[in-house]
Structure 1
Amino acid sequence: MPYVVLPPRWFLKCLSLSVKAKRLVHTQRTLKTLLHEGYFAELLPSKSERYLPDLPPNYSVYLGIDPSADSLQLGNLVALMGLLRCHMVGASVLAVVGTGTVAVGDPSGRLTKRDSNPNSNYETNADEIEHELANIRQNYLENFFPRKTESGAPDPFIILRNGDWLSGMHCLEFLRDIASHFRIPELLGKESVQLRLNSGNGMDLNEFLYPALQAVDFLHLYQNYNCHVQVGGQDQLGNIQCGLDLIHRKLGSYAFGLTVPLLTTPDGKKFGKSETGTRNATIWLSKDKLTPYAFYQRILNLPDQLISSRLLRQLTFFSSDEIRSLMKIHEDTPDTRPVQRALARELTLLVHGASALHASELATRIFFPRKKSTEQTSLGIISEELTQQECDCLRTYLAPTVKLVPVIHSQLPVDWSTESVSRWLGCLLRTATSADTESSYVTNCLRKGVTLNDVVLFKPNNDMRSVQHPSDNHLNVDLTVCQLLQEAVGRCEARLGLNILKLGKHEHWFVSTKRLWDT
């Protein structure tokens, strides 16, 4: 039975220790210091900073996470970084997946009501998100966490679902024990309500009461988990305030809220597809939706206009001095992309772990030779520059179940006839572009040019008249392409049985024609 040959455990341990040794994390020890250094945007209640040192021992901090999608994305990571910073200064932290509140839908920042989905969809999404959170928790503790408690164990990092307590609350209980502590004018004054009313779209009663429903989370966590602080994006300001009000009015106690800035471009636009200028540009944290290599490359290729000290403050654990130093290097030598490289390294390590970072950097080194010599090729790097240990790691990363780098597993054509080559090449290209929902994208890639092992099969801007529509499950190629493909396959890297497929200038795939993962 085939099995994956994994790198020795000691090697993975060395990888983790190596990346941790090369990193420096900020050394702030209190929430007050983090606030002063600009890692948080706002503190609630206003002017309550002097009371932060009075937080009780073993207090906890919570962050709510909406499971309306089946994966977290880069924007979610900003608030999660705020939660982890609280953990670094000694708080227990709670990540609360909103399986209860998502059924209503947070109206914050929306001009229209959210589409409703079956509860089973949200539960499935929550399963995926909990898996991502658990991975991030493990990577954070292994590679970033700078200290231990007296007991030798880190402070707790707990993942919860608010459906566990909200689903048991009856309507009359909510109206009597929760809604009675809120006033109509204060809810009408919420930014989310005003935005909807001013748009002319109106708002349903369930959305209107959403802030009060979310406040139940803070109350429950305050009473059961010693939770005195909520972290959230700036768009959660009104919801956080409702939680503080409920705790004070119902229990006579005080709590705090900390907001983090939303992830935006320097001109204030929300970070998203339009800013990156590429298709399917959402930077997902799930490796099933975006491989760690693709994640690394998306960050590495962020345009310079997105780079700022604020972005580094939002997405890394760097200190203020380190951020200033990185920005100075970026200003002096922007062509070396020092900030993008630092971000790609930090975020890949946090989201996907040390092995994924090593795989991404190794694949990047192979796909994009840094030497200017025209003789430097991807296959040359594999055969001439990689150590035996690096080759062993690459073999592991190429296994079908690992999903760290872009790889296509395919047997060679049965012969070199036009029919066999057409079928094989068409299958290869469809696999390489399967993540895109538009079938015409295959044709677009061919127009950009297709290269295998540095042999050009289709030149850029080819007229494509001989290529049928991809839905025909077939590409027509002539004898010239067959001969070129045969030449390309003859250049295969013999030690690992690898080919390098290149679409356009920047999209690369390993093509494995050898069962490297079997013994």
Structure 2
Amino acid sequence: MTEHLLDELAWRGLISQTTGDDELRAALDEGPITLYCGFDPTAPSLHIGNLVQILTVRRFQLAGHKPLMLVGGATGLIGDPKMAGERTLNPVEVVHQWVERIRGQIEPFMSFEGENAARMVNNYEWTKDMSAIELLRDVGKYFRLGTMIAKDTVARRLHSDEGISYTEFSYQVMQGMDFLELYRRYGCTLQTGGSDQWGNLTSGTELTRKAEGVSVHALSTPLITKADGTKFGKTESGTVWLDPAMTSPYAFYQFWLNQADADVISYLKVFTFLPREEIEALEVKVAEEPFRREAQRTLAWEATTLVHGEAAAQGAVDASQALFGRGELGTLDESTLSGCAQELGGADVPAGTTIVDALVAAGIVDSRSAARRAVQEGGAYVNNERADDPELVLSTDHALAGGWVVVRRGKKSVGIVRPVA
């Protein structure tokens, strides 16, 4: 017997709240439903937090339901209120460019064929010609001020020094209107989103109930966290983006590879489509043979393949092995090495730099004397070749693709520099 979708989502840790578990289960059992999830273009790329929502909707599609993937050309011009501080409003033309970029990031995850084909929608389509009077009379009349100011983010901002503008306060009206419009156009009866969006999700269910007299549903997923309480989705270099120009496939792969034993199984459930049996087998291996890090390698491969494709994932694996002396650096292309530099904090150094100065510039050692000792003790490498001479000058003969040179101390301390004239 096939597991019910809601039971699978619960096992994967993907249900925080619903407007009614029994009602939603019954609706799903009655036949395919149409659902939607919205993404605002407030940056030029989505990040791995957004990936939770994309993959959740994909699970609904795989179960036979019909997804609407909304990129908010209108709501992106307003901005969902943050817990602290007013958003900077981006120029209209920039937001429209970001709409197309984000649409292109979402589309590869969905199927646009068959009876439950996905559809991309943009709320700018039904808001661009709406007058302020129409918004107030036809939509605003259904919203109650007491309910609006009770929303968590709004309430916090109202009691803060900076307050909240009417623009951001009205965001929940705009998002609520999306649900109503998608119900009218496509029969949409479910919205999904992160738990921090719960107030906006219920704005849509309430508006649709009041305006159309029907009950529709909302489901939120928990915010992904680390077991130690630190923020998920951030590295020392910043947010982990889906755009390979902003977070390289190598850096993306390394992010997943570096996850702690305490987190890796929960992330496998959320960020891969591996079946329960395979994930549970990996959970046993984490407990019995954690040093092998098989679960982390599986997570890194699956997540990188999902987002960037198998070739990019293999490139990240090859780069990871080559950097630490277990592969051929000469086979890595410029984009891969630039990604390595992004992750490792690659540094430009003057032409004529010695191995000693390169080790310092790469952050591998703290001082020239420490670098000199590493060379003299036989523990320094240039492009995986042992460097025996502290006066060795990095030259064009050492340059890999893009002019990069890999320097290493011992087996684990690796860096990358680029001599420039």
Measured against the shorter chain, the TM-score band is 0.7 to 0.9
> What residue identity is the alignment partner of 2:78?
V
Name the CA shift for 1:451/1:116 in 2 (closer, same or farther; >3 Å): farther
Name the CA shift for 1:452/1:55 in 2 (closer, same or farther; >3 Å): same
Deviation string, structure 1 residues 10-42 (Cα, Å, up to 9, x no partner): xxxxxxxxxxxxxxxxx9564333344354323
Name the CA shift for 1:422/1:196 in 2 (closer, same or farther; >3 Å): closer
Identity of aligned residues (%): 28
Contact 1:349–1:356 under 8 Å retained in 2: yes
- Matching residue within 197, 205, 218 for 2:158: 197
- Matching residue within 74, 92, 96 for 1:100: 74
Name the CA shift for 1:199/1:57 in 2 (closer, same or farther; >3 Å): same
Q: Helix, strand or coil: the match of 1:340?
A: helix
After superposition, where does 1:395-410 map in structure 2 within 5 Å? 398=333, 403-404=335-336, 406=338
In 1, distance between residues paired with 2:59 and 2:316?
26
In 1, distance between residues paired with 2:18 and 2:402?
59
> What residue identity is the alignment partner of 2:72?
G
In 2, distance between residues paired with 1:161 and 1:348?
28
Name the CA shift for 1:224/1:407 in 2 (closer, same or farther; >3 Å): closer
In 2, distance between residues paired with 1:501 and 1:156?
47
Partner of 2:99: 126
Name the CA shift for 1:165/1:454 in 2 (closer, same or farther; >3 Å): same
Name the CA shift for 1:88/1:445 in 2 (closer, same or farther; >3 Å): same
- Matching residue within 215, 224, 227 for 2:185: 224
Q: Is 2:206 the partner of 1:245?
A: yes
Larger relative contact order (Cα-Cα within 8 Å, sequence gap ≥ 6):
1
Partner of 1:79: 53
Q: Helix, strand or coil: the match of 1:178?
A: helix
Name the CA shift for 1:157/1:226 in 2 (closer, same or farther; >3 Å): same
- Taking structure 2 as the reference length, the TM-score comes to 0.81
Deviation string, structure 1 residues 31-74 (Cα, Å, up to 9, x no partner): 33334435432343234446534666553221111211111111
Q: Helix, strand or coil: the match of 1:199?
A: coil
Partner of 1:291: 248
- Matching residue within 351, 356, 363 for 1:423: 351
Deviation string, structure 1 residues 136-162 (Cα, Å, up to 9, x no partner): 44xxx6xxxxxxx9xx84731222222
In 2, distance between residues paired with 1:183 and 1:271?
35
Contact 1:181–1:246 under 8 Å retained in 2: yes
Partner of 1:391: none
Name the CA shift for 1:49/1:43 in 2 (closer, same or farther; >3 Å): farther
Partner of 1:515: none
Q: Is 2:413 the partner of 1:502?
A: no
Deviation string, structure 1 residues 141-187 (Cα, Å, up to 9, x no partner): 6xxxxxxx9xx847312222221222122111111111111111111
Q: What is the deviation of 1:96?
A: 1.1
In 2, distance between residues paired with 1:91 and 1:164?
24
Contact 2:68–2:120 under 8 Å retained in 1: yes
In 2, distance between residues paired with 1:204 and 1:127?
28
Q: Is 2:316 the partner of 1:360?
A: yes
Q: Helix, strand or coil: the match of 1:323?
A: helix
> What residue identity is the alignment partner of 1:452?
V
In 2, distance between residues paired with 1:345 and 1:267?
24
Q: What is the deviation of 1:197?
A: 2.3
Name the CA shift for 1:500/1:378 in 2 (closer, same or farther; >3 Å): farther
Contact 1:229–1:255 under 8 Å retained in 2: yes
Q: Is 2:139 the partner of 1:183?
A: no
Q: Helix, strand or coil: the match of 2:37?
A: strand
- Matching residue within 24, 30, 34 for 1:60: 34
Q: Is 2:168 the partner of 1:207?
A: yes
Q: Is 2:134 the partner of 1:173?
A: yes
Q: What is the deviation of 1:287?
A: 0.8
After superposition, where does 1:142-157 map in structure 2 within 5 Å? 153=114, 155-157=116-118
Contact 1:58–1:226 under 8 Å retained in 2: no
Equivalenced residue count is 394
In 1, distance between residues paired with 2:75 and 2:170?
11
Deviation string, structure 1 residues 188-240 (Cα, Å, up to 9, x no partner): 21111122123343222222221111011111111112221111000011100
Q: What is the deviation of 1:269?
A: 3.9
Partner of 2:64: 90
> What residue identity is the alignment partner of 2:77?
A
In 2, distance between residues paired with 1:503 and 1:125?
39
In 1, distance between residues paired with 2:418 and 2:116?
42
In 2, distance between residues paired with 1:47 and 1:378?
51
- Matching residue within 388, 392, 402 for 1:481: 392
In 2, distance between residues paired with 1:165 and 1:286?
28
In 2, distance between residues paired with 1:235 and 1:205?
20
Contact 1:453–1:499 under 8 Å retained in 2: no
Q: Helix, strand or coil: the match of 1:113?
A: coil
Q: What is the deviation of 1:252?
A: 0.8
In 2, distance between residues paired with 1:60 and 1:362?
42
Name the CA shift for 1:503/1:295 in 2 (closer, same or farther; >3 Å): farther
Contact 1:293–1:406 under 8 Å retained in 2: no
Contact 1:66–1:97 under 8 Å retained in 2: yes
Unaligned runs of at least 5 residues, structure 1 = 1-26, 142-148, 370-376, 383-393, 409-420, 431-440, 463-479, 512-519
- Taking structure 1 as the reference length, the TM-score comes to 0.67
Contact 1:360–1:405 under 8 Å retained in 2: no
Q: CA RMSD in A?
A: 3.7
Partner of 1:310: 266
Q: Is 2:286 the partner of 1:327?
A: no
After superposition, where does 1:332-411 map in structure 2 within 5 Å? 332-369=288-325, 378-379=327-328, 398=333, 403-404=335-336, 406=338
Deviation string, structure 1 residues 410-439 (Cα, Å, up to 9, x no partner): xxxxxxxxxxx953769xx99xxxxxxxxx
> What residue identity is the alignment partner of 1:128?
R
In 2, distance between residues paired with 1:499 and 1:272?
28
In 1, distance between residues paired with 2:61 and 2:352?
52
Partner of 2:217: 256
- Matching residue within 257, 274, 286 for 1:300: 257
> What residue identity is the alignment partner of 1:481?
L
In 1, distance between residues paired with 2:228 and 2:216?
33
